[in-house]
Amino acid sequence: MTHAEWNVALGEAGYPELLAEIDDPPAELWVRGRLPPGPTVAIVGSRRATRYGLNLATDFGRAAARVGWHVVSGLALGVDGAAHRGSIQGGTPGVAVLGTGTDVWYPRRHQRLGEELIEHGGATVSEYVSGTGPRPWHFPARNRIIVGLSLAVVVVEAADRSGALITARLAAENGREVFVVPGDVDRENSVGCNKLLRDGAHPVLGVGDLTESLELLVATHPRVSVERETPTLDEPGRSRATGGRGVGGLDDEERALIDLLTDGSSLVDDLVADRGREVLAIIGRLELKGVCAVEGGRVRVHI
């Protein structure tokens, strides 16, 4: 392998900020390649995915990468691999988080894929030192790193009690957005997804819906400030092209409120105290457009 391994410890400069925020960040990270400099989204799901799930994972990976998002996944068979492949096609470098040392390839047949990720400017990452082989307990632990590195997690297909489900729950517990592809109620590979939806995850209804949600996340997330050459909310007509909810149809007042939510408090009471009762009407208009909702006294921008 041409790329040398390097490592960074928790607390050192260069350790991913997002990862340091989770409940149990790894003390040390072994990396081959370059950690993502921009926004990150995990795409995870079943290892025994259906053709439909695989296609969707590839499409999502490609679409996310096209709009400048770094795709994070686990290099596993099934959804993980498909998402990585899509991201390579989309052109933004991705990250594979391994359950082995970065010099051990598991599954073996994804060695080439992992190397390609690195060659395209991405990275393979692990908390295990070189030479560490796969152990069953490495993979659930690996999932928390996938979550830690990502602003949002997309679950494509997941059976009940599957690893992807654990990843999604970890994401929710650590305050990351969880997007889930709804599935047929009578398919085992959908049970996990549908349970997540029942518990309040955001349904993702297609490729356009995903990229639009990611763009909204960029527009509203306090931590993401991205230099991107891709279009954002300000470009009219764009959301119409992706068949979405008409985010492009926000007026100045509404956009200003979304900006305000990005910078300051999202508490309805604070907003009213600052801007007067009129702010409620603006929130309501955004709510009617499906852009936000009031939940627990806060304005939550829907993604």
Partner 1 sequence: MTIARSASTVTFPCDLQLMAAANPCPCGWEGDLKKACRCRPEAVARYRRVLSGPLLDRIDIMVWVPRVDTMQFMGPPGEPSEMVAKRVAEARALGNRTRSNRSLTRRHLDRLPETRDVASQVTNALDDGRVTARGAEKVRRVARTIAELDGRNEVIMDDLAEAMTLRSP
Alpha carbon 111 to its chain centroid, in Å, reads 23
CB closer to partner 1 out of 180 and 283: 283
CB closer to partner 1 out of 20 and 281: 281
Distance of closest approach, residue 201 Cβ to partner 1, in angstroms: 10
CB closer to partner 1 out of 104 and 172: 172
Distance of closest approach, residue 169 Cβ to partner 1, in angstroms: 8
Query: Which residue ranges make up the site for partner 1 (CB under 8 A)?
Result: 169, 172-173, 199-200, 267-269, 277-278, 280-285, 287-288, 290, 293-298
Distance of closest approach, residue 231 Cβ to partner 1, in angstroms: 25
Q: Are 139 and 97 in contact (CB under 8 A)?
A: no
CB closer to partner 1 out of 77 and 267: 267
CB closer to partner 1 out of 91 and 284: 284
Distance of closest approach, residue 137 Cβ to partner 1, in angstroms: 22
